[in-house]
Structure 1
């Protein structure tokens, strides 16, 4: 099965944006000073790639000649506070992309973008597949991933493929044929790229396609017939696990081999050692099958690189959905994209919700200090204390509670889930390693660590990322 080929001949659009900062001692000669004021030089130049992907100016190259052009000017480090700010929602828009051949079927798609008319480079992010009915899967909303790319001037597009979330159509399993499954999913990726590349705010000549888990498989399948403006593929822990199929590991490995033989675009593969879905041996086999087939077919410009980023928290498979994971994957992605002629410099600052300051109400280890909780709630708080540092615990006056760990915003998740069980407002009690609760009366009277209850790091409930009552 092959998905339909995309139309070629898109108009190439690109913009050039140069940020210049200069610093020099005062000039005593008025004529020289006037010349210096009229001719800006730069100790730091940041430029978009042009339509061919070549940098229009290298860092440290003067923009024009003048008295500062050859001066020994110290480089000024720019803090992101000086960058233009994009609202926290990143101009989020939910659109419905019609499927070619049947416009009555649409793909529910979330679009994030910087401020302004563009055109901007684009990255398409392909979601994974959770167990159960795909229609019950939440709308793809990769906030941590999107924030990193929007801050670098990209439009981020997150489609839900057919049969998932609010999209029309049905999910096609294709039995145990993994290669066909991936190509079928890639058809929706192609539909998305084709549609979005025609939007006036998208630079159709600078496109990246990325995906996680099942979306990583779809991404690599799409690479067999990628549109001409697609310069890079990013595969986060990609594949499709089919435990009901005998020899599913071999089926998956062979599928990647098929894709490698037809690959047209350079790809970066990121997998971790403690992935709950793929063993390290299987990852090695999948990549070897792809790379060997690719080399055998001598696909021009379509290199592939595998990055083993080691262990991540309790499951490497959650990397790209976690805000904490950005510091792991972005440096590798940044170097890869730069090599493909894609921009990587930060151009915007995306507003984010800051964690509340420590209130001094109690020690975070003090279970008895948490107000309004019954015994089940205190057990829940003990479990909260075992989680990774990106965590939040919320409670209401009526005793409802919830904690969340990881993801993009555990504070919002904890409060929202607590609120589902309470008619009273839920408030944050603890965030990360601090108690942030406060009232206008006094600090907690009992500040003992845990009322004698030990906190076991290997408790069975420690694997949960969300709990509430």
Structure 2
């Protein structure tokens, strides 16, 4: 979530998308989050914070799918995860290229190639999005064609271990992942399992859309033979009530092997779990156990830098609103709002009085500075990060985020 001047908007909210057989429940509600990485062996090789990110075109019939690849250094071959994105409201081509940095960082640390295709009609991929009206089952199968094309193409790359593949997705991408497992995965024997983060498709314009959604998962469950892990939270803004339990029950009713984890509440909305760096501590332990069960690697192979906050400066107490320099009363109101956010947060200001705050995502420091800079010709610098003031006064050169 970011706020610039007096305008607030959510960067990772997905309105139109989203549940194994054991259902589990873990109480992971917490007001404070903080990434606690595994202990690292300093002798491990280091992957630069860019994660060797490249953008390629994956051929799919008559078009190319704009696809982001993150990978470790070296020739491989590396195990692969193909990750499927959700769907924002509006024109699919207007949706930004998907870059799940927090998820990619964790998998690259563990030696994986992370492949993120934008499906047909999304972002810079060719063609147009085809929704199949209110037919959710057909929608999922249509989307899964692009996943199949991606798995087939990437399996031929010399740096990919085509015998160790997992397919995952969030929201609409979670539905797509399960549809892929029901039909196209048969042609890819190297795919060992499926991971569904809050998957489904919400269609408020369709009468009985919940029934359609449950029916689609039931249909997929008749054919999926791969093991799958489903992760859903209690305070999901898209899937309310017992809808996730209905989807899960329909899926496993025909013998599909799947485990569903109810991870409780996550911040203000469980649907944002995968987009947050803070969410890694919630989903990774269970995903790691699932990967081990299906014969995928789970040991840390690389060191990867994460966004690091500047040290506290002692300039002022965090809650001293009047100490924030340059800003007017609107800016002070914005800072009070910032103080009410979760602990992964940043507030930035400029000499001319522009300001912005950001919470969550992968790097709120960079987002806050960028939001402030859109409003100012003067350089923006960090005033506060997480629970500390880092500002050192006008003219200081140490206020930007570091890695």
Q: TM-score range by the shorter chain?
A: 0.7 to 0.9
Structure 1 unaligned blocks of 5 or more:
1-76, 296-301, 443-469
SS at match of 2:236: coil
SS at match of 1:343: coil
- Equivalents in 2 of 1:401, 1:179: separation in Å? 46
**Partner residue in 2 for 1:326:** 280
SS at match of 2:76: coil
**Partner residue in 1 for 2:29:** none
**Partner residue in 1 for 2:141:** 183
**Partner residue in 2 for 1:356:** 310
RMSD: 1.4
1:132 and 2:90 correspond: yes
1:93 and 2:93 correspond: no
1:249 and 2:210 correspond: yes
* Deviation at residue 130 of structure 1 after TM alignment: 1.0
**Partner residue in 1 for 2:191:** 230
- Equivalents in 1 of 2:281, 2:42: separation in Å? 19
Indicate if the aligned counterparts of 2:316 and 2:323 stay in contact, CA closer than 8 A. Answer: yes
Indicate if the aligned counterparts of 2:57 and 2:66 stay in contact, CA closer than 8 A. Answer: yes
* Deviation at residue 83 of structure 1 after TM alignment: 1.7
1:403 and 2:361 correspond: no
Larger radius of gyration: 1
After superposition, the C-alpha distances for 1:115-166 in whole angstroms (9 at most, x for unaligned) are 0000000000100011111111111000000001000000000110111111
CA separation of 1:441 and 1:329: change in aligned 2, threshold 3 A: closer
SS at match of 2:323: coil
SS at match of 1:429: strand
Q: 2:76 aligns with which of 118, 121, 124?
A: 118
**Partner residue in 2 for 1:414:** 368
After superposition, the C-alpha distances for 1:356-409 in whole angstroms (9 at most, x for unaligned) are 110000011011101110111111111111100000001111111110000000
Matches within 5 A, 1:307-386: 307-386=261-340
Number of residue equivalences: 356
CA separation of 1:346 and 1:441: change in aligned 2, threshold 3 A: closer
List, as ranges, runs of 4+ consecutive aligned residues in structure 1 with deviation greater than 2 Å. Answer: 77-82, 439-442
**Partner residue in 1 for 2:178:** 220
* Deviation at residue 352 of structure 1 after TM alignment: 2.0
SS at match of 1:270: strand
**Partner residue in 1 for 2:111:** 153
Q: Under a length normalisation based on structure 1, what TM-score does the superposition of the two structures give?
A: 0.75
CA separation of 1:440 and 1:391: change in aligned 2, threshold 3 A: closer
CA separation of 1:429 and 1:440: change in aligned 2, threshold 3 A: closer
- Equivalents in 2 of 1:404, 1:271: separation in Å? 25
After superposition, the C-alpha distances for 1:52-77 in whole angstroms (9 at most, x for unaligned) are xxxxxxxxxxxxxxxxxxxxxxxxx9
- Equivalents in 2 of 1:422, 1:282: separation in Å? 45
CA separation of 1:326 and 1:78: change in aligned 2, threshold 3 A: closer
Q: Under a length normalisation based on structure 2, what TM-score does the superposition of the two structures give?
A: 0.87
SS at match of 1:190: helix
**Partner residue in 2 for 1:286:** 247
- Equivalents in 2 of 1:283, 1:182: separation in Å? 17
Task: Name which structure has the greater RCO, CA cutoff 8 Å, separation 6+.
Answer: 2
